[in-house]
Structure 1
């Protein structure tokens, strides 16, 4: 060891980089950069942390600029051309990709849906809207009397697909799995389950400016496919016709750049006896993974398709909290439940067709329309 020779001094830079890149864990590469000043300089100068991130997530190859917007960044003295702007840029990039890789493995796994955007169709809007898929329970309201689910419009062709599109909690998310629970109509004869035959998932970003605030989601449904660019499409997963939260695990975690996710429901199974049409109904949707917000954000250039990675903080995000009842979703849920409770008390319950206040010995034999 006393007569050891640093291989960086005897090998050319390319061969030295190939040796370092045999490491598969970025944290090992970070440890290597702490061995000596010459090793640290080599790791930073050759962008090895960035290269390892690109190996793990090729989508990051479109990042052509890294910006630090945090005031907490400190630049300790480095061995090398410390006064060079190029060297400072390389150090900034090294910090950003090192912390980015840390986020991929150590940020908390949580439910990533921030809010629903639109469904391809809705049978009774807003009572059976996509908003209901954020509610874990299939029943809400007093004594669990109000069914909570999204319902498509009925179709005579069972092959007609449907989509549910969501905005995620951050425009840079690592997604591991999606959980979906079909709805079982407990108020219909035979307790039918309105599942899809299969599901597929798309991830991407907004293509054009967001529609004006206050525009109802049912108006957006016809144009939702034209509003986004999809950069990832999963394989098709079969769905069981079972009333449970079904798990669809992606073969590998997928980096969603842009924060938009779409659940595509393929094929219809259940026909409603009342109108002989096929429906798809969903009780609950979960998109599980790691959000890199608020530490990171990304800007997408629509013309060049290039990305700008923004570092907003080098602090580890706090563990996810239980959603507050003041959140936008729970506010909408509260208003919806209050509206339906008022309708129940008034006897005005035509959407959906429940009449909980009516006492009828034959009520168990009646069918209700989704």
Structure 2
């Protein structure tokens, strides 16, 4: 018996709404024409997305393109109804938000609220996987303050306009060259996700669409993990890390500092499939579909493309080298012979 045809609409909705896996819902829409028409008519794919991520209620329009290359893309000819297009887009979005691979989602640092010494203690150091560059510790340090309640922030751009963030990680810095080897952590940390206000004349005006709870930080030299209560869809691609309350005073100048070795944001990047279009201060935005293809296949093609894939890695290493030269110019010969040559050779082999 085909229950979609045999029972009333409310009962069919109750049954099919129990499907919380996007793939199952797509399979249901492929059972028959009547099932497909039912799934599309009642926006079950869209409802599943809104159930998973309430932030998607801010989508006010959907755009589709015919090419992954934005510079040459054009809008698809709209030959389908709005419910059909929404079914296609939200089915892909639900799959992307739940099944794309977990990875590090931070692309680049933007700014720190303060820095004690530039470029030696730059925010760029927080994205280096290593604890040291040569023999020099790699970390960010805030400016010192007499007031321990003065907060600090680190601003990052994520790898995509849409990222599903599940966990954030921070490692405070232990200053082994200070007496007692103090750890300059904060009492608490909080995270914000959002986007640039495209309608503001101020190019640095951000709209924060999500603010996490305050997580207590331990004064320990380890990568501390902060799991969000539920996966959060970051709309706009910006992350703000807020450090609240200073723990450690420096014996040298009697000022409070916050120092960080590593910052990570783990989640799913939707860069290959979606883009946020023209978000406003009310949170409304357009959702642009870049590709319906498997993002893993796109990644494989890029790896075969050659040297352009390694440019971000090369630029990061060059910046690390510049920072090192500012800190220890007399050790450049030893640094180049002991570590940079090996990195450069491995990079040449990869290319």
- Give the drift of 1:45: 2.1
Give the C-alpha shift of residue 96 in structure 1. 1.2
Helix, strand or coil: the match of 1:194?
A: coil
Among residues 29, 32, 36, which one is paired with 2:32 in the alignment?
Answer: 36
Q: Take 1:257 and 1:185, find their aligned partners in 2: how far apart are those partners?
A: 36
- The change in CA–CA distance for 1:229 and 1:295 in structure 2 (over 3 A counts) is same
Q: Deviations 1:331-357 (Å, cap 9, x if unpaired)?
A: 3223222443435569xxxxxxxxxxx
Distance 1:33 1:249, change over 3 A: same
User: How far apart, in 1, do the equivalents of 2:8 and 2:285 lie?
Assistant: 32
Of residues 251, 256, 261 in structure 2, which corresponds to 1:283? 261
Q: What's the counterpart of residue 176 of structure 2? A: 186
Q: Deviation of residue 190 (structure 1)?
A: 1.1
Local SS of the residue matching 1:298: strand
The gaps in structure 1 that reach 5 residues or longer are 73-83, 212-222, 347-370
SS at match of 2:63: strand
- The 3 A distance-change label for structure 1 pair 330 and 95 is farther
Unmatched 5+ residue regions in structure 2?
A: 69-76, 304-308, 334-351
- The within-5 A match list for 1:1-370 is 4=1, 6-71=2-67, 87-141=80-134, 144=135, 146-208=136-198, 227-302=205-280, 305-318=283-296, 326-342=313-329, 344=331
2:336 matched residue in structure 1? none
Q: CA deviation at 1:70?
A: 2.9
Structure 1 residue 71 displacement after superposition: 4.4
For residues 324 and 255 of structure 2, what CA distance do their matches in structure 1 show? 28
Maintained 8 Å contact 2:107/2:156 = yes
Q: Secondary structure at the match of 2:261?
A: strand
- Flag the 1:187–1:157 CA change in 2: closer, same or farther, 3 A: same
State the distance in 1 between where 2:237 and 2:200 align. 13
Task: Quickly say closer, same or farther: Cα 1:304–1:264, change in 2 above 3 A.
Answer: closer
The 1:137/1:307 distance shift into structure 2, 3 A limit, reads same
The alignment's TM-score, normalised by the length of structure 2, stands at: 0.83
Q: Structure 1 length as normaliser, TM-score?
A: 0.79
Q: CA RMSD in A?
A: 2.6
Relative to structure 1, is the Cα distance of residues 179 and 210 closer, same or farther in structure 2, using a 3 angstrom cutoff? farther
Whether the 8 Å CA contact 1:65–1:309 is kept in 2: the answer is yes
